[in-house]
Structure 1
Amino acid sequence: MSFAIPFNKPYFSGHETRYIEQAVRSGKISGDGLFTQRVHAYFEQQLGFGRALLTTSCTDALEMAALLLDIRPGDEVLMPSFTFVSAANAFVLRGAKVIFIDSTPLNPNLDAGALAALVTPRTRAIVPVHYAGIACDMDTVLAVARQHQVAVVEDAAHAIDSYHHGRPLGSLGQLGTFSFHETKNIIAGEGGLLAINDPKYGARAEIIREKGTSRSAFFRGEVAKYSWVDVGSSFLPSDIIAAYLWAQLENLADIQQRRRAIWQRYAHALAPLAAHGVGLPQLPAYATNNGHLFYLVCRSLAERTALIAELRHHGIMAVFHYVPLHSSPYYHPQHDGRALPWADHYGNCLVRLPLFYELTAAEQDHVAGVVLQFYQTY
């Protein structure tokens, strides 16, 4: 079924194909070409990350993080249940046991207050996920991590240009990961980035990203030949992907201004839903809004199903989000049995509304109007 108003429409600035052509004509379209270098410099110089390495996806960035932390069988990693499977898979692939944390009543982010009680001598990392680009309670996360000497890997897949007490998300933990999937604010079709904020991981990250070899050092003239020196894989993307991404980064301010304006328009139009007991996105005092997505939290699964069907009837594509990982077919048998009611609640009740750069005011009014009319009668 085609929709008059899709959930997402990839943004195209107009310079992407020109930069891709430049990359092709340069004769260097494999990894770490000119546009990759520009992207790295942007994240390091403009956003203040210690080291930035472009990857083929946020999934790959997370898998690099697990390798860098030397995660092994029997290690434990704490993360929210209400998140994408990549966050867990990266560590499960290394043999770790994932300990899932419930969400908060305020928003789907992990309940940082529950972390300390779940840390054991086997805990190696905490993976806060900044859902919808809204910061987790990083003061508490970092305090627990320091007290117990465990690493923090920020999953900032949603969170470019979003901040915690003025610091960019992805820069607070030892490692941070980003996504440039076509549903994100800044896109490359696919693509991701690993932010390395602890310099002790920098040299090894470069090796892991290049199949476990010293290839990057060889091309800089630092070693006479490159060889296999560590574990790794091919995590670096083509410079064609970086060329598309560079055009997006050049327009970051404009993209963000537009997305935030759309988000605020939804927030104003749909504010009356609070009187019906429908949840709206909440920003803690320490967080900023990057306009990544706008969601509602319905009162029941049946209500959400009916709302999505009503929107579909009017040509509008709205979608739910994650099935909580603790209840997934794969990991439920390995979960420790703790109830995670808020994760279940968001899994059953959260619905995401269309939000993309080209969404017009008239289209947005139509979406909001259908939602408000639905709640007049439901």
Structure 2
Amino acid sequence: MIPFNKPHLTGKETHYMYDAVSTGKISGNGKYTKMCQEFFEKQYGFEKCLLTTSCTDALEMAALLINIEPGDEVIMPSYTFVSTSNAFILRGATIIFADSETDNPNLDASKIEALITPKTKAIVPVHYAGVACDMDTIMALAEKYNLFVVEDAAQAIDSFYTGKDGVKRALGSIGHLAAFSFHETKNIISGEGGMLAINDRQFADRAEIIWEKGTNRSSFFRGEVDKYGWVDMGSSFLPSEIISAFLWAQLEELEDIQNKRKHIWQLYYDALQDWALATNVKLPVVPEYATNNAHMFYLVCPDLARRTELINKLKAADIWCVFHYLSLHKSPFYTDKHYGATLAQSDHYSDCLVRLPFYYDLSDADIQKITDCIKQ
């Protein structure tokens, strides 16, 4: 069986985990946590980074930081993972789902303005497959209507956006806040794990307090305050040093991991380009303003029947591929809360998109087998 995903280990993970244990501090916010956070701040220009136990936690921190309250409306794509929505639902928000682009699953930025009301508080673009949404349009709307932008960059590590001003920016560095994932299916992993990137200084101090259960513990240990106490709402969002140590081993090999993944992505694209054109199957589209971080390779079949047939044929050949998100506006939890609009593109991707096996240790021969089977 060629699996859909296989976590890649660089070889140093257990060494650094052992080192973390030997320091006598494994509860979090120690040596490896600080090293990882500083790496991201320097590498990608984030104002401040805080590691979390998951991307879900990072999104929940973002919802707390922008003071989401019952009755607030938050605009996001329907074609996304449930965590994107749950983080704001937990604070009492009403989710206003927007449709996807016609040529890729990202939020259609041209549809956002019509959804904005006096109750709208935030826009949450999701950079699907690590490919940037139209951030110029989204940030312009945020400025016009005084809204917050929280980038769901779960899949977008080491990917970039070039704006109309010609400046190339890392995804996650453009919105007020951003959330990343280091789940075992991502490019850089720590099993479970995530990170909140803070790009607006007004949130920096409070983010640290929310991160540590609503206390000013970090300020106390830096000697900035003489008492350590409960000063705000919060939760236990920071990961243990063992998770951070695992992540550090991955970050040391970031360039190698990314080069290999881009090689795999290009092999898929070159092998399937002519076949896809002949069979009315769509391959991934990367807009001119975006880069490709090779998070995944997907196909968009003409219809549900074709996708089901493809998945079954590949499974019979011991190749495991999967469909992806189901439109959240049609979920059992939210269907009676949706404002009623038809989101045709979101539903199309729900029915027709299939993800092919993608992981660092996938060999050229494996890709040849997969693509030959698809074409047959």
**Do structure 1's residue 175 and structure 2's residue 177 form an aligned pair?**
yes
2:319 match = 316
Number of the residue aligned with 1:35: 32
Match of 2:281 in 1: 278
Partner of 2:227: 225
Give the % identical residues: 61
Corresponding residue for residue 145 of structure 2: 148
Q: Which runs of 5+ in 1 are unaligned?
A: 374-378
Match of 2:203 in 1: 201
For residue 323 of structure 2, give the secondary structure of its aligned residue in structure 1: coil
Structure 1 segment 90-109 matched on structure 2, within 5 A: 90-109=87-106
Paired residue for 1:5?
A: 2
Q: Which moved more, 1:193-202 or 1:299-308?
A: 299-308
Q: Which whole-Å deviations, capped at 9, do the CAs of 1:176-225 have from their partners, x for residues lacking one?
A: 11000000000000000000000000000000010001111111111122
Q: Match for 1:332: what amino acid? A: T
In structure 2, what residue type is equivalent to 1:235? F
Structure 2 spans left out of the alignment, 5+ residues: 163-167
Listed as ranges, the matches of 1:249-328 within 5 Å are 249-272=251-274, 273-328=276-331
- Secondary structure of 1:355's aligned partner: coil
What CA deviation, in whole Å up to 9, does each residue of 1:12-61 have, x standing for no partner?
Answer: 00000000000000001011010000001001112110000000000000
Instruction: Give the Cα–Cα distance (whole angstroms) in 1 for the partners of residues 239 and 63 of structure 2.
Output: 19
- Give the corresponding residue for 1:70: 67
**Aligned pairs (5 A) from 1:81-92:** 81-92=78-89
Give the whole-Å Cα distance in 1 for the aligned partners of 2:272 and 2:27. Answer: 46
CA distance in 1, matches of 2:142, 2:45: 22
Deviation for aligned residue 1:297: 0.4
CA distance in 1, matches of 2:231, 2:122: 25
When the two chains are superposed, the root-mean-square deviation of aligned CA atoms in Å is 0.5
**Aligned pair partner of 1:157 in 146, 154, 157:** 154
Partner of 1:112: 109
Q: Does 1:334 align with 2:331?
A: no
Q: CA deviation at 1:152?
A: 0.3
| Pairs aligned (count) | 370
Aligned equivalents of 2:292, 2:56: Cα separation in 1: 24
User: In 2, Cα distance between the equivalents of 1:131 and 1:39?
Assistant: 24
Matching residue's letter, 2:297: F
Structure-2 separation of matches of 1:226 and 1:267: 55
Give the equivalent residue in structure 2 for 1:376. Answer: none
The runs of at least 4 aligned residues of structure 1 exceeding 6 Å deviation read none
Match of 2:304, as an amino acid? L
Out of 366, 369, 372, the position equivalent to 2:369 is: 366
- Equivalent AA in structure 1 for residue 225 of structure 2: V
Shift of 1:86: 0.3
SS in 2 for 1:332: coil
Structure 2 counterpart SS, 1:178: strand
* Distance in 2 between residues matched to 1:285 and 1:228, nearest whole Å: 48
Give SS of 1:193's match.
strand
Give the counterpart letter for 2:217 in structure 1.
R
Please give the alpha-carbon distance, in whole angstroms, between the structure 2 residues aligned to 1:125 and 1:275: 42
